[in-house]
Chains A and B, each alone.
Chain A
């Protein structure tokens, strides 16, 4: 629903993908993209200062695929995420404060400090978890799809995975089963060009992950993963098809992670020029520029949204720092359900 003040309709020269997102939704999109970026920058800084004990995988530069692919989702829809999953969590509605608390290993983190960055989940919020195993979420998504179908629910599942995961056997098994059973799943590949250090061009014989969709008789769509309206449009169409019983779609978002694979990465496998080139294609700045060009938002309004996101992150970080640690006497709780 568009508010009276919505400017979308009054801007005739926009591309349809951009016009499809009204102002209110766009504010939410921008807020989430900024939250993701600033969350990860703050996480990185906390790590440098020795405040975070474990590893993390940053998705800085990939915010458009996370937010775009989940834009058509309802609260009750599901996502399954990856080791590089902070963006997916925030996009699905997770609170940065409880995510930070999880990073810090605190009792009031999403997983009571038991999971950390690679296992953040918010089952009640439809986030069935990040995953430390490359491709681990793909077969699980099939079961989620079976569950949706068996319970006759009007839901879809979005499973994120990287280009590297598309070389796992789990990818083949999952896409095949999802297709033969016409399950309501969006397979969203965030192709950031590298599986750790291995260039996808050296790891895969076809040029696009989406080309593999042919083998499963499902639509395979390549989209500019740094173009939020484009990702959102592709995902919306796929979600509508899934809800209508049309089965799964493989969406490949071509994107780039601006940071290394993890903290051990010294960027020996790629050039500074390449990283710089992608830095100039920042999905957030690019979207903002387009919105300003079409007079949807003024730079001042955009600045306000960004500052509000930063304030939210600052507060969230304070919450995490002040949170209690788990008690070692609870070490073995929740290994089994009663």
Chain B
């Protein structure tokens, strides 16, 4: 595979959905490297629970697009075993919530093998995890658990927000010699965006400034980066100039980009879907508080996170449990203007 860090310039803008972009990345990787294979529950003829694998089984066969039994612990371990013996497995955990059944293999084995073995093994595996709320799937099918894994040295954790990044970051993840968890928000699967043809990479560990602004910084990843960007356009109409940072990667985290932004705007809001306490917001706030950037703050940092509750089924309650665009708007106005 050739490695391009930025997308090639194209004359015509081609649009794909987020799901199609992931499928295209998988196809490119499988085409280029026969060590790459996809496996998981119903990824074969069913095409994946969210249609992400689609027709890949017809293109690459059942030896490389492998339906597995409903055995999350077993398949996570199988990914580890294949990875340490020369393969490049891409595992789909049907709903990210089910990763709770696979924690042992991901946290105790995949994350630690290289270190425990004194650097003499590599674990080049990718785990794809459809997550997030908004589909009425209730408490066991809607969580945002990415922060759990961002707490584990040895893992990389990414959360692309656009079809462009989903493809480019997945290709980077497949090429990475470490275990990479990619959290894909279920509500993003059908969103469309420009996706270049062919192979290109979006680096892991690098945030993107989606909108430049002077009044405050809003940091978020995945669907929260999308909501923050939409909110920022509305804020602009009100005369509030928000800078939006799409974090993209939680481990490693690109603190430099956040720091540079806060030095400029002096106000920070962190938006994330996971439960508010002990989460991404706490980490970013603490990083600011521990650094010289703290002196640049003109207002307390705002964390806008998920409510302290299992995700409810009722759609009104479900929306109320995670930050929506309106919540971002309200919080941003307060932060920018110092409203009570």
Binding site for B on A (CB under 8 A): 78, 80, 109-115, 119, 121-124, 128-129, 131-133, 136, 138-148, 150-151, 169-170, 173-174, 176-177, 180, 332-338
B73: A residues at CB distance < 8 A: 139, 169-170, 173
B85: A residues at CB distance < 8 A: 78, 128, 143-144, 147-148
* Whole-angstrom CA separation of A336 from B153 in the bound complex: 8
Chain A residue nearest in CB terms to B177: A337
CB <8 Å contact, A133 and B154: no
CB <8 Å contact, A170 and B87: no
Residue tally, chain B, CB below 8 Å to A: 43
CB <8 Å contact, B154 and A336: yes
B113 at the interface (CB under 8 A from A): yes
Shortest Cβ gap from B228 to chain A (Å): 29
* Whole-angstrom CA separation of A338 from B175 in the bound complex: 11
CB <8 Å contact, A150 and B119: no
- Of A148, A177, A332, the contact of B74 (CB 8 Å cutoff): A177
* Whole-angstrom CA separation of A122 from B120 in the bound complex: 8
Given A129-B116, A173-B74, A337-B114, residue A143 in contact with residue B81 (CB < 8 A): yes
Shortest Cβ gap from B217 to chain A (Å): 28
CB <8 Å contact, B81 and A142: yes
B132 at the interface (CB under 8 A from A): no
* Whole-angstrom CA separation of A178 from B153 in the bound complex: 30
CB <8 Å contact, B71 and A177: yes
List, sorted by A's number, 14 A–B pairs whose CB atoms are closer than 8 Å. Answer: A113-B118, A114-B117, A119-B116, A123-B120, A139-B77, A140-B77, A146-B78, A147-B85, A150-B35, A151-B86, A151-B87, A334-B118, A335-B154, A337-B178
* Whole-angstrom CA separation of A139 from B101 in the bound complex: 13
CB <8 Å contact, A177 and B78: yes
CB <8 Å contact, B116 and A111: yes
B89: A residues at CB distance < 8 A: 143
- Of B37, B68, B81, B121, the contact of A121 (CB 8 Å cutoff): B121
* Whole-angstrom CA separation of A148 from B83 in the bound complex: 11
* Whole-angstrom CA separation of A139 from B125 in the bound complex: 15
* Whole-angstrom CA separation of A136 from B117 in the bound complex: 15
Shortest Cβ gap from B275 to chain A (Å): 27
How many residue pairs, one in A and one in B, have C-beta atoms under 8 Å apart? Answer: 149
Binding site for A on B (CB under 8 A): 35, 37, 63, 68-69, 71, 73-87, 89, 104-105, 108-109, 113-124, 153-154, 156, 177-178
Shortest Cβ gap from B10 to chain A (Å): 32
Interface centre among A110, A147, A333, A336 (most CB of B within 10 A): A336
* Whole-angstrom CA separation of A335 from B152 in the bound complex: 10
* Whole-angstrom CA separation of A333 from B82 in the bound complex: 24
* Whole-angstrom CA separation of A174 from B124 in the bound complex: 21
For the complex with contacts A144-B82, A177-B68, 17 further pairs of A-B residues with Cβ separation under 8 Å are A114-B116, A114-B118, A123-B120, A124-B120, A128-B84, A128-B121, A131-B109, A139-B76, A140-B78, A146-B81, A147-B82, A147-B87, A173-B73, A173-B75, A174-B77, A176-B71, A337-B114
CB <8 Å contact, A174 and B69: no
* Whole-angstrom CA separation of A148 from B86 in the bound complex: 9
Shortest Cβ gap from B94 to chain A (Å): 15
A114: B residues at CB distance < 8 A: 115-118
Given A144-B85, A151-B86, residue A337 in contact with residue B108 (CB < 8 A): no
* Whole-angstrom CA separation of A140 from B119 in the bound complex: 18
Shortest Cβ gap from B173 to chain A (Å): 13
CB <8 Å contact, B108 and A111: no
Interface centre among B74, B79, B124 (most CB of A within 10 A): B74
Chain A residue nearest in CB terms to B153: A335
A142: B residues at CB distance < 8 A: 74, 77-78, 81
* Whole-angstrom CA separation of A215 from B300 in the bound complex: 60
Chain B residue nearest in CB terms to A151: B86
A337: B residues at CB distance < 8 A: 114, 119, 122-124, 177-178
CB <8 Å contact, A139 and B177: no
Shortest Cβ gap from B313 to chain A (Å): 28
Shortest Cβ gap from B92 to chain A (Å): 15
* Whole-angstrom CA separation of A176 from B69 in the bound complex: 9
A146: B residues at CB distance < 8 A: 78, 81-82, 87
A176: B residues at CB distance < 8 A: 69, 71, 74
- Of B71, B108, B115, the contact of A334 (CB 8 Å cutoff): B115
Chain A residue nearest in CB terms to B101: A169
- Of A111, A177, A180, the contact of B117 (CB 8 Å cutoff): A111
Given A111-B116, A151-B86, residue A139 in contact with residue B81 (CB < 8 A): yes
